[in-house]
Amino acid sequence: MGANEEKTKKTISIDTLLTQALFKQYPLMILGNLTQNTYRFLTYKDFTSTKCECAGTFDELIECGASTMHEMDKDLFKNTFKRENLLKEYEKGVDKVEIRVIQKGDDGVLRRVEITDYFVKEEGSDDVLVVGLNRNM
């Protein structure tokens, strides 16, 4: 086994461990590219609502997510995470956007959910990326 292969194995192992640790606190993680209007989920494990597709356009994700929110939180959710509004926050230099809302789970139970989108940069790309961490309170 060459040095590069060994290094790759160690990196994959560390990435896997880090992801597993994050899943314990945040059972739903979303990777979004605001510039490209795309997203994908990393997991649904133990999260209360699984109505949205695992990948698609970010705009569709926000519409789908809003449909799972309690009536009093729909507008807050949509306005906070609307792609154009997130891009404005990024341009202001904000590093994260966070809210707590009430979401109706697949079982019909209302739960308080914390949603945090962190802005991240990928070296060599001008795309605006977000990592969304979601957890039941």
Q: Identity (one letter) of the amino acid at 13?
A: S
Which of residues 12 and 82 earns the better pLDDT score? 82
User: What's the pLDDT at 128?
Assistant: 97
Residue 19 banded pLDDT, cuts 50, 70, 90: confident
Q: What CATH architecture is 27-136?
A: 2-Layer Sandwich (3.30)
Backbone angles phi, psi at 128, to 5 degrees: -95, 120
pLDDT tens digits, residue range 89-114? 999 999 999 999 999 988 899 999 99
Task: Over range 77-83, report the average pLDDT.
Answer: 98
Q: Which two tokens stand for residue 84?
A: 């154009």
Average pLDDT over all residues of the chain = 88
Backbone angles phi, psi at 32, to 5 degrees: -125, 145
* pLDDT(47) > 60: yes
CA distance linking residue 8 with residue 39, whole number of Å:
26
Q: Please tell me the pTM assigned to this model.
A: 0.83
CA distance linking residue 89 with residue 103, whole number of Å:
24
